[in-house]
A and B are shown apart, each in its own frame.
Chain A
């Protein structure tokens, strides 16, 4: 593998780790935000909304559950559209040219 290809691979790899870490951080923020609210501010979590039918805590909990598949979908979409083609292109590039064989 030549130097330019190696640099491009490194860039693709770094981008994947960056996006993966960023999405992990969003998930942690959402989840631990919910846990911190529940643990340290129970009155707010128990506040009723929607004509007193449901509490803020229940709505937020359901939203954190929904957040997980949404973030996953964002990542899979990105990886399918950008990451896979980039890796595929590099892999093709990495192959020895047919006439050299």
Chain B
């Protein structure tokens, strides 16, 4: 989408895309407050433990909001509301899918992860195994997930900000990269956590206010809203094109469900709390907040389809991404549009900061600390490396945003989830539960997960047919989760069974002990 085409589609009925005083004011207030917090946090960021894990001093409620902030991206706010407004029921499949991975984190991952690890999920996988091969494989999968997630966020950010604020695409990308860099570079995890908390509160506040305004139009009855949506668009109530192929729906479901439990920037947040019990309670907060948010988004989507209309929304993009902002303008005028636009901008900033921090942890802690320095690290040197890595990743994020300008990157978040589900989740679960799991098994599973997902995506309709313009896709699945997740489990198990690793087996009892008792010495 070029700037010209965006501007050409605008009509005088909406002030979307013009410099909006309320939007700029809200955004400046947000950036000023978060930069003050960053300055405050920078004086508390003197060690690696503070930089990567906020010194383990974040409370359950704080981490719950921060987890929700990390997860509720502009893609889910704008994308799901848009999808619901344009196609009704199908959008619901996505909101459900984005949530169901969270209980899995609570039940299986959060507590052992907190007790066994320090800064990254690789700490857990490598706990009983040989450090270097596992760390290299985990860093590769982490950086792959982070890169694809970053592409989706940065390209989305550029287009969104261009559309909402009228800033040119490249400047929008540089602005996001620059402000995010300040947060992470100086404030580390402490600043990033507070940016997430503020953003989560703003997003929940904005979305809830908007939903209340919508429901007020229908006598505060969601049923009346659904009935009105159905009268206007009779197809809104039943499954449509999104689930044309049942296997696709199931495959996406697997990637979303297990991918959430393998996202490095989410897993990293469990190290910011003092103990496993707090980690567990923090996911409970996050799950409730995210669930509430998706229910609200659903109301916004239907509200937009009734009150703005699909035709009006489609003028600003066929996918309907502008449904929520347009709804805000319809119900609350230009100031409310400005506020919602600023919230969307803040959302992107916060998610990009979280991603960058987890990438920096993989580079500085896993690769530099454990592979280059073989675990013999000087704290100050590691912090320095982490800051270089942050600058490098910020530059990478801006570069990716520029390179992928105008590309349809909608499949990239799904891809990031598929890699996280197949490369990270099986290795993480097997390392915690299976005594016979070996270094070779872990490396084989992580590499298989990353490579098989990338190859199947390359051969999928979205890339092979739509992007590379071949006549037919080589494999029909939009999301390869249904193949790659079981494959990674299978490879991890078969390779582990093919040879024994007595050291890893011998350390299993100690790891189990620590997994449940925590790192405290008896």
Chain A residues in the interface with B (C-beta under 8 A):
1, 9, 12-13, 16-17, 19-21, 23-24, 27-28, 30-32, 34-36, 38-40, 42-43, 45-46, 48, 50, 52-55, 57-58, 61-62, 64-66, 68-69, 71-73, 75-76, 79-80, 84, 87, 90-91, 94-96
Are B99 and A68 within 8 A (Cβ)? yes
8 contacts between A and B (CB under 8 A): A24-B108, A35-B249, A36-B246, A39-B243, A39-B249, A43-B238, A65-B99, A79-B111
The size bracket of the interface on B is: 35 or more
Give the residues in chain B near A58, CB-CB below 8 Å: 89, 92, 226, 237
Closest to B252 in A: A35
A43 CA to B238 CA, complexed, in Å = 8
Known: A39-B249, A39-B250. 11 other contacts (CB 8 A): A24-B103, A27-B103, A46-B239, A52-B227, A54-B227, A55-B89, A55-B238, A61-B96, A69-B291, A72-B102, A80-B277
Q: Which residue of A lies closest to B286 (CB)?
A: A72
Instruction: Give which listed residue, B106, B107, B239, contacts A57 with CB less than 8 A.
Output: B239
> Among residues 219 to 257 in chain B, which have CB atoms less than 8 Å away from a CB atom of chain A?
223-224, 226-227, 230, 237-239, 243, 246, 249-250, 253, 257
CA distance A34 to B100 in the complex (A): 12
Residues in A neighbouring B243, C-beta threshold 8 A = 38-39, 42
Answer yes or no: B93 CB below 8 A from chain A CBs.
yes
Establish whether residues A65 and B96, one from each chain, have CB atoms under 8 Å apart when the complex forms: yes
Q: B96 to chain A: closest CB distance in Å?
A: 5
Q: In the bound complex, do residue B513 and residue A9 qualify as a contact, i.e. CB atoms below 8 Å apart? A: yes
Known: A17-B433, A35-B250, A73-B284. A54 touches B102 (CB 8 A): no
B302 to chain A, nearest CB (A): 9
Q: A45-B238, A53-B224, A91-B517 in contact; A72/B93 too (CB < 8 A)? A: no
Closest Cβ–Cβ distance, residue B72 to chain A (whole Å)? 14
Whether the pair A68, B522 counts as a contact (CB closer than 8 A) is no
Q: Which residues of A contact B515 (CB under 8 A)?
A: 13
Closest A-chain residue to B90, C-beta based? A38
Q: Is the interface of A mostly helix, strand, loop or mixed?
A: helix
Nearest opposing residue in chain A for B235, CB measure? A46
B194 vs chain A, min Cβ distance (A): 24
A57 / chain B contacts, CB cutoff of 8 Å: 89, 92, 237-239
Instruction: Select one of B89, B92, B93, B277 contacting A84, CB under 8 A.
Output: B277
Q: Are B239 and A65 in contact (CB under 8 A)?
A: no
Given A35-B249, A69-B287, are A53 and B295 also a contact pair (CB < 8 Å)? no
Neighbouring A residues of B114 by C-beta, 8 Å? none
Cβ-neighbour of A39 out of B96, B246, B287 (below 8 A): B246
Task: Judge whether B238 and A68 touch: CB under 8 Å.
Answer: no
Kindly state the separation between the CA atoms of A24 and B284 in the bound complex, as whole angstroms: 14
Check if A72 sits within 8 Å of B513, measured CB to CB: no
Cβ-closest chain A residue relative to B513 = A9
Closest CB pairs A-B (n = 9): A46-B238, A39-B246, A20-B107, A55-B237, A53-B227, A61-B92, A69-B288, A54-B226, A31-B100
| Beta-carbon nearest neighbor of A16 in chain B | B516
Contact check: which of A54, A71, A72, A75 meets B223 at CB < 8 Å?
A54
